[in-house]
Amino acid sequence: MHGLYPPMAAKTSVRKFDPSDAIAVITGYRRQQFPLERELAFLGFVAWMLFPMKAQLVQTAQIIGAANYFIHLPKARRASLVRANPYFSQELFAKTLLTFPLGDTFSMEFESAFNELANINELIEFFMICPIEKRPSLLKALHFIEKGGFVPADVNESDRNAYKRSRSTLKVSWVNYAIAGPFIWSAMQTNYEFITRLSPDLKTTIDRVEKFLAKKHEVMEFFELARFCQVRLIPRLDERSRSRFRFLEFPPNVTLVDVELSELDSAQTTILKDYRPPKLIDKD
């Protein structure tokens, strides 16, 4: 008997987001432990791709995604997903999460991450297409991109500077996004760029997530391309980078595929040949 006091709401907690475990759930290697775990794991993974250094933001993205699902699911299904909270209407709680300031903030954060994604995509792309005998390195990648190695050939000379990226900006992107790079590269190389725009607060996100996860072959292709990229990338990194970055582990069901990559054209080869390593300064 509770007397004058309402029954205590059940305490719930969420685990720290683990991107490797999320892949296992998304690809079906591990079974769901609760309804919508797969969908929320995917939303968390998308947020992790865009913000791999911001654990709290990733976890919040999952909660916002859960609220978004709750608002747009049929009422009959809502009751089976969550327990009633005696203090708050669940619908009101979810709507509160989706309104000021969290809703707009997430959409804006996703939009603002676009330049960072473009930076890391080009860095990873360099490691993918640079022949191993050319000894690809981060310094060579910085030189290659700064000199316009990925600027389309049909861009006018007067407009080429707008496509180039500074070394300092690229270095920051590398530090912040290296471990997520293979997944960003996979999205950018295929028809899956929309994944990087799935902000958890948008109604359209739910429909797109449902459609994507329903196509098992597309889900597997996305992660298989990412695994190919990571396997190709790691041996090309220097020992310091390999020890610095903790790349993800893939579940066994994500097979290693072979991908045909483009080769450096003559203009790109010339840029790479012009690279000169930095000179060491003798302090004695």
Backbone region of residue 36 per phi and psi (left: phi > 0; alpha: psi in -120 to 50; beta: other values): left
Q: Output the CA–CA distances (angstroms, integers) from residue 133 to 70, 119, 127, 147, in the order listed.
A: 53, 24, 12, 21
Token digits of residue 272 = 């790479």
* Confidence at 95, pLDDT banded by 50, 70, 90: low
- Say if residues 98 and 63 touch (Cβ distance below 8 Å): no
Say whether pLDDT at 216 is over 50. Answer: yes
Among 26, 22, 20, smallest CA distance to 219 is for 26
Query: Is the model more confident about 278 or about 144?
Result: 144
pTM summary value = 0.86
Query: Is the model more confident about 124 or about 88?
Result: 124
Residue 8 phi, psi (nearest 5): -70, 140
Give the mean pLDDT of the chain: 85
Residue where the block lists tokens 């860095």: 123
Direct distance between the N- and C-terminal alpha carbons of the chain, in angstroms, rounded to an integer: 82
Taking residues 49-57, what's their average pLDDT? Answer: 92
Per residue in 267-282, pLDDT tens?
999 999 999 988 755 5
* Confidence at 72, pLDDT banded by 50, 70, 90: confident
The separation between CA 232 and the C-alpha centre of its own chain, rounded to angstroms, equals 18
CA distance 107 to 102: 9
